[in-house]
Amino acid sequence: MARPLSVAIVGAGMGGLAAAAALRRVGIEITVYEQAAQFTRLGAGIQIGCNAMKVLRGLGLEQRLRAQSFYPRSWNNRDWKTGEVKFDMIFGESAEQKFGAPYLLAHRGDLHAALASAVPDQYVKLSHKLVGLDESSDGVQLTFANGVVATADAVVGADGVHSVVRDMLFGISPVNFTGRIAYRTTYPAALLGGEKIDDCTKWWGEDRHIVIYYVKPDRSEVYLVTSQPEPDFRVESWSAKGDVRDLRASFEGFHPQVGKVLAACPDVHKWAIMDREALDRWAVGKVTLLGDACHPMTPYMAQGAAMAIEDAAVLSRCLDGADRDGVADAFRRFEATRKERTTRVQETSRANIWLKERTDTSWVYGYDAWSVPLAA
Ligand X SMILES: Cc1cc2nc3c(=O)[nH]c(=O)nc-3n(C[C@H](O)[C@H](O)[C@H](O)COP(=O)(O)OP(=O)(O)OC[C@H]3O[C@@H](n4cnc5c(N)ncnc54)[C@H](O)[C@@H]3O)c2cc1C
Residue positions annotated with a catalytic role? 213
Contact between 47 and ligand X by CB under 6 A: the answer reads: yes
For 361, phi then psi, to 5°, come to -105, -5
Q: For ligand X, which stretch binds (CB under 6 A), given 213-221, 252-260, 292-300, 328-336?
A: 292-300
Q: For ligand X, which stretch binds (CB under 6 A), given 5-13, 92-100, 201-209, 356-364?
A: 5-13
Distance CA 13, CA 292 (A): 10
Contact between 222 and ligand X by CB under 6 A: the answer reads: no
Least distance from ligand X to the Cβ atom of residue 309, Å? 8
Task: Sort strands 45-48 and 104-107 into parallel, antiparallel or unpaired.
Answer: antiparallel
Distance CA 329, CA 347 (A): 27
Contact between 214 and ligand X by CB under 6 A: the answer reads: no
Contact between 308 and ligand X by CB under 6 A: the answer reads: yes
Q: For ligand X, which stretch binds (CB under 6 A), given 189-197, 259-267, 298-306, 352-360?
A: 298-306
Let me know how long the chain is.
376
Distance CA 58, CA 72 (A): 22
> What x/- string results for residues 73 through 112 when contact with ligand X is judged by CB under 6 A?
----------------------------------------
Q: For ligand X, which stretch binds (CB under 6 A), given 66-74, 257-265, 297-305, 365-373?
A: 297-305
Least distance from ligand X to the Cβ atom of residue 14, Å? 4
Q: For ligand X, which stretch binds (CB under 6 A), given 74-82, 148-156, 296-304, 339-347?
A: 296-304
Contact between 66 and ligand X by CB under 6 A: the answer reads: no
Planar angle of CA 205, 247, 291, nearest 5 degrees = 75
Q: 239 or 323, CB closer to ligand X?
A: 239
Give 232-301 as a DSSP string.
T-----SS-EE-HHHHHHHTTTS-HHHHHHHHH---EEEEEEEE-PPPS-SEETTEEE-GGGTS---GGG
Least distance from ligand X to the Cβ atom of residue 130, Å? 4
Planar angle of CA 265, 195, 44, nearest 5 degrees = 35
Q: 89 or 293, CB closer to ligand X?
A: 293
Q: What type of residue sits at position 335? A: E
Using the rule CB under 6 A, which residue among 225, 268, 315, 369 binds ligand X?
A: 225
Please give the residues from 150 up to 179 whose contact with ligand X meets the rule CB under 6 A: 158-160, 164
Closest-CB residue for ligand X?
A: 13
Task: Using alpha carbons, select from 313, 341, 315 the residue that is nearest to residue 327.
Answer: 315
Give 181-199 as a DSSP string.
EEEEEEEEGGGGTT----S
Q: Exposed e or buried b for every residue in 66-100, given b needs 16+ CB within 10 A?
A: eebbbbbebbbbbebeebeeebbbebeeebeeebb
Contact between 313 and ligand X by CB under 6 A: the answer reads: no
Q: 46 or 287, CB closer to ligand X?
A: 46
Contact between 35 and ligand X by CB under 6 A: the answer reads: yes
Binding site for ligand X (CB under 6 A): 10-16, 33-36, 46-47, 128-130, 158-160, 164, 182, 184, 225, 271, 291-293, 299, 302-306, 308
